[in-house]
C-alpha cells in the first residue's frame, strides 16, 4: 500500500517554489510508515541485448529532454537495447515530468520502458521506484551525473554546480533527490544576532532549544526558528561552529567549523537530499556534505578524507537551559527573514506523523521509523540508544567502541504544543499539533566508574555514592576529577539506520 501526503503547509521546502510546482509535487511525497524493508535485488547483466556506448548513452539521455520526437526515439532505442543502466535516467525523467519541469516525455511510455527494463510494476509511483532502485546494484550510464545536474538545473541553475561529471563522488548520485527548494531556499543564519535571555520574551519555558556551551559561553537556538533555517554558522567562545539541523531526520548536530585539513568552512543548504538526509554544502568549495556524518560526499573535497569534528550539543527546554545557564544568550527572533516563527510551524504535522516525507530504501523494524534515538559513534562503532528508554532509566552505563560511557537523561520529553500554519489540511486535521522534540541527553566517558541517578537531575552518584555534578564539558566528581563529555546527537531511527545499518542498539 502506498500512502501519500502533501508537504506541510507553509513548509520551507515549498517557500521558493512556483504554484505550478507546488501542485505537481503534492502527489509525489511519501508517508512510508506502513512499508517494510526493501530487499537488495539486481537486474541480471546478461539481460542486456546490446550495451549502449558512452557517447550514445549521453546522446540518448540528452534526447529525453530535448523534444517529444527525440524523446520518443530515445526511449525506443533504450528499450530495444534492453540496457538496465538507463533505469536511473528513466526514474529521473519520470520525476522531472511529475514536478512539471520536463514536458518532452509521455509518462505512460516512460513507465512502460521502466517496467520492461526492470521487470517491476510500480506504475507512476516515484517513491517505490526510488526505493527499489536504491536496493539494487545497478549503475547509471556514463555521463549520468552531468545530465542529472542539467535536468535539476531547470529548477535552479545552481544545481549544475554540484552535479557535474567531473565531480568526485563518495555516494550514488542516483540516490540524490530534490528536496523541494532551490539552493539556499532554506536560508542559513550566519553570525546571527544573539540577545540576552531576559530579552527573549517570545520564548515559552517548555519549548525546545538546541544549546551548547564552549569555553564558558552558553548559546541557545530555538527550534521554532531553526525549523525554518536548518543551518547556523556562528562563533561561540572563540570557536567557529556550524549547527546543522536536518528537520526530515530529526537530527541537530554541532560541528566545529575548523575541518581536519585546517580550513574553516561555513555551510548552506543545497536543496538536495540523500536518503532523506540533508546535503549541506560549504561556501568555500561548493562541495556537498553529509549532514549526519560531517563528511564531504560530492565535489572537490570528496576524495580528500577531510571531515568535521562533533561538538557537544543538547536538546533542552528553554526553561531548563535558562535555569542551568542564566548567563546564556539566545537567538533573536528578528532574523532578517519573514517567517512564521511559531511553535509547530512549519513541520509540526511531519514531526507528529509516523512516516517519512521522502523515499528511504534502507530500513529496519527493530524500532519504529521515527523513534527518537541518541546516537554515538566511537572508534568507528555506531550505537543507538532509544530516547524514551533513556528518559525512563535516567542513567545508563554502557560501552561503545570499547569506551565505557554513561548517558544521563532528563526524565521527560521536551514537547511542543503548537499550531499549524493555516494550510488546507488544517480544516481536516485541526489547527493544533503536539509532538515530542526529543529528550535532554548528555554522554560522558566514565572510566571504571558506574553511575546511578542522584538526588536531582544534575547530580549522579558513583559506586561509592559520591556525588558528581553534570556540566556541559564534563562530569565533575570529588576533588574536581572529571569525566569528559562525549559528543552525540538525537535523530530519528530511520535516518541513523540508513547510514549505519551495522549499528548496535542498546537493550537493558
Span 422-443, pLDDT tens digits = 554 444 445 789 999 999 999 9
Residue 403, SS3 per DSSP: strand
Q: Are 208 and 438 in contact (CB under 8 A)?
A: yes
CB 97, CB 325: distance < 8 Å: no
- What would the mean pLDDT of 461-473 be, rounded to a whole number? 97
Q: Verify that 209 and 279 share a domain, yes or no.
A: yes
308 pLDDT more than 90: yes
On whether residue 325 sits in a domain, the answer given is: yes
Q: How many other CB atoms are found less than 10 A from the CB of residue 419? A: 16
CA 51/CA 82 separation, integer angstroms = 8
Average pLDDT over residues 388-413: 97
pLDDT > 70? residue 50:
no
Q: Is residue 17 part of a domain?
A: no
**How many domains does the chain divide into?**
3
CA dihedral 114, 117, 118, 119 (to 10 degrees): 100
User: What is the per-residue pLDDT for 47?
Assistant: 53
Place of cell 527546554: 317
Residue 197 lies in a domain: yes
C-alpha span between 185 and 17 (Å, rounded): 9
Residues 157 and 250 in one domain: no
Residue 48's pLDDT is 56
In a shared domain, residues 140 and 211 = no
d(CA 203, CA 440): 18
Q: Give yes or no: residues 311 and 446 share one domain.
A: no
The pLDDT assigned to 6 comes to: 33
Instruction: Report how far apart, in Å, the C-alpha atoms of 289 and of each of 265, 409, 506 are.
Output: 11, 30, 28
430 or 105, higher pLDDT: 105
Answer yes or no: do 128 and 194 share one domain: no
Q: Is the pTM of this model over 0.85?
A: yes
Do residues 235 and 115 both lie within one domain? no
Domain end residue (candidates: 166, 200, 229):
166
Bridge partners, residue 435, by sequence: 416
The secondary element (H helix, E strand) that includes residue 390 is helix 387-393
What strands, in cross-sheet order, belong to the sheet with 372-378?
A: 489-492, 372-378, 381-386, 504-505
Contact 110, 75 (CB under 8 A): yes
Q: In what helix (H) or strand (E) does residue 15 lie, and over which residues does it extend?
A: helix 12-15
Please indicate, yes or no, whether residues 369 and 319 belong to a single structural domain of this protein.
Answer: no
Please give the share of the chain, as a percent, with pLDDT higher than 70: 88
Neighbours of 100 (CB within 10 A): 17
| Non-local CB neighbours of 340 within 8 Å, separated by 6+ positions | 10, 346, 421
The cell numbers describing 303, all together, are 576524495
**Domain coverage including residue 433:** 358-505
pLDDT at 8: 40
Place of cell 576533588: 479
Report d(CA 372, CA 287) in Å as an integer: 29
110 CB-near residues (< 8 Å, 6+ apart)? 75, 90, 93, 94, 97
Instruction: Please give the pLDDT value at position 426.
Output: 46
Helix (H, G, I), strand (E, B) or coil at 443: strand
20, 367, 410 from 373: Cα distances, Å: 38, 9, 14
Average pLDDT of the segment spanning 398-416: 96
User: What was the pLDDT predicted at 428?
Assistant: 42
**Is the residue at 240 inside a domain?**
yes
Q: Is residue 381 part of a domain?
A: yes
Average pLDDT value over all residues in the chain: 90
Highest mean pLDDT: which range of 340-349, 411-420, 498-507: 498-507
Separation between Cα atoms, residue 205 and residue 494, nearest integer Å:
30
In a domain, 285, yes or no: yes
Distance CA 464, CA 378 (A): 28
CB-based contact 243:313 (threshold 8 Å)? yes
- Cα 261 to Cα 306: distance, rounded to the nearest angstrom: 6
The residue ranking higher by pLDDT, 25 or 422, is 422
317 pLDDT higher than 60: yes
25-39, 80-94, 236-250, 363-377 — which is least confidently predicted?
25-39
- The answer on pLDDT for 29 being more than 90 is no
Sign of CA dihedral 456, 224, 230, 331: negative
Shared-domain flag, residues 131 and 270: no
Q: Does 147 lie in the same domain as 251?
A: no
Nearest to 268 by CA among 297, 237, 240, 245: 245
pLDDT of residue 23: 31
What number is the average pLDDT over the span 33-50? 46
**Confidence check: pLDDT of 37 > 70:** no
What gap in Å lies between CA 289 and CA 239, rounded to an integer? 21
Q: What is the mean pLDDT of residues 134-162?
A: 97
Say how many C-beta atoms besides its own lie within 10 A of residue 21's C-beta: 16
169-190 residue pLDDT tens: 999 999 999 999 999 999 999 9
Which three-class secondary structure string do you get for 213-226?
EECCEEEEEEHHHH
Q: Has residue 297 been placed in a domain?
A: yes
> What is the percentage of the chain residues whose pLDDT exceeds 90?
86
Dist CA 103 CA 87 (whole Å) = 19
| CA 294 to each of CA 136, 201, 210, 211, 258: distance values in angstroms, whole numbers, following the listed order | 26, 34, 18, 19, 12
Determine contact, residues 340/348, Cβ cutoff 8 Å.
no
Residue 259 has pLDDT above 70, yes or no: yes
Would the pLDDT of 98 be above 60? yes
Choice between 477 and 20, residue whose per-residue pLDDT is larger? 477
Identify whether residues 93 and 158 lie together within a single domain. Answer: yes
Give the pLDDT confidence score for residue 4 in this predicted structure: 30
Residues whose CB falls within 8 Å of the CB of residue 71, separated by 6 or more in sequence, listed in order: 63, 64, 65, 104, 105, 106
pLDDT given at position 429: 47
Q: Under 8 Å CB-to-CB from 395, ≥6 apart: which residues?
A: 406, 407, 408, 409, 451, 452, 453, 460
466 — pLDDT class (breaks 50, 70, 90):
very high
Q: Tell me the average pLDDT across 436-465.
A: 96
pLDDT at position 51 is: 75
Which residue, chain included where needed, has cell 580550513? 263
| Residue keyed to cell 548496535 | 504
318 and 454 housed in the same domain:
no
Q: Are residues 376 and 495 in the same domain?
A: yes
Domain finish residue from 166, 181, 214 = 166
Q: Is residue 171 part of a domain?
A: no
Amino acid at each position: 500500500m502506498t500512502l501519500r501526503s502533501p508537504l506541510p503547509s507553509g513548509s520551507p521546502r515549498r517557500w521558493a517554489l512556483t504554484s505550478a510546482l507546488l501542485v505537481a509535487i503534492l502527489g509525489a511525497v511519501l508517508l512510508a510508515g506502513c512499508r517494510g524493508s526493501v530487499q537488495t535485488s539486481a537486474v541480471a547483466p546478461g539481460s542486456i541485448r546490446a550495451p549502449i556506448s558512452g557517447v550514445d548513452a549521453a546522446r540518448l539521455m540528452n534526447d529525453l529532454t530535448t523534444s517529444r520526437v527525440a524523446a520518443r526515439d530515445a526511449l525506443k532505442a533504450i528499450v530495444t537495447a534492453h540496457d538496465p543502466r538507463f533505469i536511473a535516467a528513466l526514474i529521473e525523467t519520470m520525476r522531472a515530468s511529475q514536478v512539471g519541469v520536463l514536458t518532452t516525455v509521455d509518462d505512460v511510455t516512460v513507465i512502460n520502458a521502466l517496467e520492461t527494463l526492470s521487470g517491476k510494476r510500480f506504475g507512476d509511483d516515484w517513491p517505490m521506484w526510488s526505493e527499489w532502485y536504491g536496493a539494487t546494484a545497478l549503475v547509471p550510464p556514463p555521463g549520468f551525473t552531468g545530465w542529472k545536474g542539467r535536468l535539476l538545473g531547470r529548477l535552479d541553475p545552481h544545481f549544475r554546480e554540484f552535479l557535474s561529471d567531473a565531480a568526485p563522488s563518495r555516494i550514488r548520485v542516483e540516490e540524490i533527490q530534490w528536496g523541494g527548494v532551490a539552493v539556499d531556499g532554506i536560508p542559513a543564519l550566519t553570525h546571527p544576532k544573539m540577545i540576552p535571555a531576559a530579552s527573549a520574551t517570545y520564548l515559552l519555558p517548555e519549548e525546545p532549544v538546541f544549546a551548547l556551551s564552549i569555553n564558558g559561553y552558553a548559546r541557545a537556538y530555538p527550534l521554532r526558528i531553526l525549523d525554518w533555517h536548518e543551518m547556523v554558522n556562528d562563533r561561540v567562545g572563540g570557536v567557529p561552529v556550524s549547527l546543522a539541523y536536518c528537520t526530515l531526520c530529526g537530527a541537530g548536530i554541532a560541528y566545529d567549523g575548523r575541518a581536519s585539513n585546517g580550513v574553516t568552512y561555513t555551510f548552506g543548504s543545497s536543496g538536495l537530499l540523500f536518503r532523506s538526509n540533508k546535503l549541506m554544502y560549504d561556501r568555500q568549495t561548493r562541495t556537498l556534505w553529509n549532514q549526519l556524518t560531517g563528511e564531504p560526499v560530492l565535489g572537490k573535497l570528496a576524495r580528500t578524507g577531510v571531515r568535521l569534528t562533533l561538538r557537544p550539543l543538547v536538546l533542552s527546554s528553554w526553561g531548563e537551559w535558562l535555569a542551568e545557564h542564566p548567563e546564556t544568550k539566545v537567538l533573536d527572533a528578528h532574523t532578517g527573514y519573514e517567517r512564521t516563527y511559531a511553535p509547530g510551524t512549519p513541520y509540526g504535522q511531519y514531526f507528529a506523523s509516523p512516516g517519512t516525507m521522502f523515499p528511504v530504501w534502507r530500513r529496519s523494524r527493530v524500532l519504529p521509523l521515527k523513534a527518537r534515538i541518541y546516537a554515538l559513534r566511537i572508534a568507528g562503532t555506531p550505537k543507538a540508544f532509544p530516547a524514551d528508554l533513556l528518559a525512563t532509566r535516567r542513567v545508563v552505563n554502557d560501552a561503545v567502541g570499547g569506551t565505557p560511557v554513561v548517558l544521563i537523561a532528563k526524565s521527560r520529553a521536551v514537547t511542543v504544543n503548537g499550531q499549524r500554519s493555516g494550510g488546507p489540511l488544517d480544516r481536516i486535521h485541526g489547527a493544533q499539533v503536539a509532538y515530542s522534540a526529543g529528550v535532554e541527553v548528555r554522554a560522558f566517558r566514565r572510566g571504571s566508574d558506574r553511575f546511578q541517578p542522584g538526588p536531582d537531575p544534575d547530580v549522579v552518584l558513583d559506586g561509592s555514592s559520591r556525588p558528581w555534578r553534570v556540566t556541559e564539558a564534563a562530569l565533575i566528581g570529588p576533588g574536581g576529577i572529571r569525566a569528559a563529555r562525549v559528543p552525540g546527537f538525537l535523530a530519528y531511527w530511520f535516518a541513523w539506520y540508513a547510514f549505519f545499518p551495522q549499528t548496535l542498539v542498546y537493550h537493558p
